[in-house]
Amino acid sequence: MRSFGGIPALGFGTYGRWKADGEDAILTALEIGYRHIDTAQTYDTEGECGRAIAAFGLSRGDVFVTTKITPENFGAGKLIPSLHRSLDNLQMDYVDLCLIHWPSPHGETPLPVYLEQLAEAKTEGLAQRIGVSNFTIDLLKQAEAILGKGALATNQVELHPFLQNRKLAHYCKEAGITITAYRPIAEGRVASDRAIQRVAEKHDATAAQIALAYLMQLGYVVIPTSGKAERIAENFGALDIALDADDLAAMRSTDRNERYIAPDWGPHWD
Ligand SMILES: NC(=O)c1ccc[n+]([C@@H]2O[C@H](COP(=O)([O-])OP(=O)(O)OC[C@H]3O[C@@H](n4cnc5c(N)ncnc54)[C@H](OP(=O)(O)O)[C@@H]3O)[C@@H](O)[C@H]2O)c1
């Protein structure tokens, strides 16, 4: 599979993939060919991921696993023990990527306190790569000042055809930070957009596939999720689609700065 900055281009998101049904969906994703699984401490799906990966029987080097540290575990001395608990849930010795899930709400924990523990997790071999999620340009600059340029593998942010986040994406490209796009199909809403429908018709594809193909063609990692086997397969099919210049221009025009995830304790978005 294609990869960006060492991260497989298409991953399987696991928010909502709980209990036996969730484990089945993750197993289905692995059977279809996904080799990148995205979880987080707060999703409560690390156990499902660990059991599905163990059941499928992949050797550790053949699957890329991301987890995210919740702000509750940012305090001095808390991050690494919390990552050990995550690794126990995942039945693994290390994650391929460990992210700060959100900047500390209202700056309650100073940035150096949690970023330095994150770097320590990498030094200890608990994470092969480290990164952040929901960071703005200003926060990325502060993080780079603390950890050094090149330390962050990715910034995982909301990004889809209706929120193309170009200013942030441009900054990340210049800084060598891979964008991981969450909510990449806007929870299926992309199907209602006429411009996306037209590109989909031209490629005999679905709107979700076109949205994912577009984002990957821009160099972004995408992590859609579904609880339905046919959609898990449909989304994986985006890897086979190549868009031409007209398609890219049409997709570019669908941006309308429509953000779905913006908690009041979150950062001031770019
Ligand atoms: N870092 C963060 O703060 C953050 C925030 C949000 C999400 N994430 C990550 O990103 C992943 C994906 O984000 P998301 O779940 O918010 O959004 P998404 O992947 O854009 O949308 C998932 C929703 O779309 C539906 N769907 C999936 N494939 C479809 C298709 N081909 N056609 C039509 N509908 C389809 C699914 O319903 P069915 O299950 O019924 O198919 C599900 O309700 C999460 O699982 C999580 O891993 C990270």
Q: Using one digit for the tens of pLDDT, what is the confidence trace for 114-126?
A: 999 999 999 999 9
Q: Is the CB of 228 under 6 A from ligand 1?
A: yes
Q: According to the model, what pLDDT value does residue 233 have?
A: 98
Spot the catalytic one: 34, 43, 114, 214.
Answer: 43
Q: Is the CB of 261 under 6 A from ligand 1?
A: yes
Q: Which residue, by CA, sits nearest to atom 36 of ligand 1? A: 226
C-alpha torsion sign, points 254, 260, 261, 267: positive
Active site residue 43: yes
Q: According to the model, what pLDDT value does residue 238 have?
A: 98
Contacts of residue 118, Cβ cutoff 8 Å, sequence gap at least 6: 69, 79, 98, 100, 127, 130
Residue 157 DSSP SS3 = strand
CA of 182 relative to ligand 1 center, distance in Å: 8
**The two structure tokens encoding residue 76:** 């001095």
CA of 33 relative to ligand 1 center, distance in Å: 18
User: Bridge-partner residues for 100, per DSSP?
Assistant: 69, 132
Query: In the chain, which stretches have pLDDT less than 50?
Result: none
CATH class of 3-187+220-227: alpha beta
Q: Is the CB of 10 under 6 A from ligand 1?
A: no
Q: Is the CB of 5 under 6 A from ligand 1?
A: no
- 79 contacts 69 by C-beta, under 8 angstroms: yes
Distance in angstroms (rounded) separating the CA atoms of residues 58 and 34: 12
Q: Is the CB of 154 under 6 A from ligand 1?
A: no
CA of 226 relative to ligand 1 center, distance in Å: 6
Residue with tokens 């990957």: 216
Kindly list the distances between the CA atom of residue 106 and the CA atoms of 102, 136, 263, 264, in Å, as whole numbers in the listed order: 11, 14, 12, 10
Domain coordinates in residue numbering, the chain: 3-187+220-227
Q: According to the model, what pLDDT value does residue 241 have?
A: 98
Helices (H), 107-218: 111-123, 137-147, 166-175, 194-203, 207-217
Name which of 182, 187, 171, 175 is nearest 226 in CA terms. Answer: 187
Q: Using one digit for the tens of pLDDT, what is the confidence trace for 144-154?
A: 999 999 999 99
CA of 188 relative to ligand 1 center, distance in Å: 8
Q: Is the CB of 133 under 6 A from ligand 1?
A: yes
Phi first, then psi: what are they for 257, rounded to 5°?
50, 40
Distance in angstroms (rounded) separating the CA atoms of residues 117 and 77: 8
- 238 contacts 213 by C-beta, under 8 angstroms: yes
Residue type for position 49: C
Q: According to the model, what pLDDT value does residue 208 have?
A: 98
pTM of the predicted model, to two decimals? 0.99
CA of 54 relative to ligand 1 center, distance in Å: 24
